[in-house]
Amino acid sequence: MSDPAPDTLQLTGTGRLRNFIGIDGLPRAILEEILDTAASFVDVGDRAIKKVPLLRGKTVINLFFEASTRTRTTFELAAKRLSADVLNMDIARSSTSKGESLMDMLRNLEAMSADMFIVRHGDSGAAHYIARHATPDVAIINAGDGRHAHPTQAMLDMYTIRHYKGRFEGLKVAIIGDILHSRVARSQIHALNILGAEEVRVVAPKTLLPVDIESLGVTVCTDLNQGLRDADVVIALRLQKERMDSALLPSESEFFRLYGLTNDRLRAAHPDAIVMHPGPINRGVEIASEVADGERSVILHQVTFGIAVRMAVMSMCMSGRETERDDSLTPERPHATTR
């Protein structure tokens, strides 16, 4: 597969990462650099002093307009392990709740010499909008926007797959559950296709599948056994009840009966298949406890790897921007003169 066209919002003129808004449009080399950089950070959490100085003196602001515990916490830990100063904005009590516009709030935060915004928002495209309108001195990382994208979650999933499988070529990956509402699934699909997975399957009832999902380069399965057959990686998705019309699903128990992961159903997958879940888990809805806590599960490892992956993305965005800034300040060499 050829690399996509350059994404100028996310990449510098020399092809380095400047923002991380989504995976679609990024070249394979950038995704592999994120994975390789994350590998160098994995053991930081095992040290007596869990810090490296790469973002010392930098200010990172978490702008979470949507509730999150796992994502916000891992971003905060990642920033602190890079030695950054971290500010968590309480959006519910911020000036936006008093009528201040989003752009006015951003301008005030920029005036405080912020270096990076981590943005989570319920509206698709919010991170892209902020990246287009923020000052060029501030890096923007998308921590999830509406149904659109969750790129760092997808990359920590890619890290987990590469850690356990060692490759992407030849792998069959089954993504099961609420595809319709899942920004994680979209980002996973883009990443898997860019990194060269053999087949990406989406497995769900028709009511939980987007109408144009085939255009993303996936195999669509409405039968769980068919979707699991010989799969090397099985990813269960949470039913996003907060985004869901009740008419889309008869009941949670009915969903589990037809699509819930159990040990019996996993027999259709490859014998050494791994089981993943982006969390939070609804036990007995999309996955049985015997699977979530079983020997095939790598769910807790995903959380651990997530800190390293977010450290990688943050350090790469900051490095790319500083290189771009330095290049713009470098004076032109004088033309040689002849005598």
- The response to whether 121 counts as a known ligand-binding position is no
- The response to whether 333 counts as a known ligand-binding position is no
- The response to whether 151 counts as a known ligand-binding position is no
List 1's β-bridge partners, or say none: none
- The response to whether 58 counts as a known ligand-binding position is no
- The response to whether 70 counts as a known ligand-binding position is yes
Q: How far apart are CA 234 and CA 65, in angstroms?
A: 30
Q: How far apart are CA 236 and CA 251, in angstroms?
A: 18
Residue type, 289: S
Tokens at residue 203, please?
């497995």
What's the full length of the chain, in residues? 339
Q: How far apart are CA 232 and CA 234, in angstroms?
A: 7
Q: Single out the residue of 189, 191, 185 nearest to residue 278, CA to CA.
A: 185
- The response to whether 14 counts as a known ligand-binding position is no
Tokens at residue 206, please?
């028709």
- The response to whether 257 counts as a known ligand-binding position is no
DSSP run (H or E) holding 311: helix 299-329
- The response to whether 120 counts as a known ligand-binding position is yes
- The response to whether 132 counts as a known ligand-binding position is no
- The response to whether 59 counts as a known ligand-binding position is no
Angle (CA) 270-276-282 rounded to 5° is 125
Q: CB under 8 Å to 184, separation ≥6 — which residues?
A: 150, 153, 154, 157, 237, 278
User: DSSP E strands: which ranges in the chain?
Assistant: 59-64, 85-88, 116-121, 139-145, 172-176, 199-203, 219-221, 233-236, 274-276
Positions at the binding site for carbamoyl phosphate? 70-71, 120, 150, 153, 279-280
Positions at the binding site? 70-71, 98, 120, 150, 153, 183, 238, 279-280
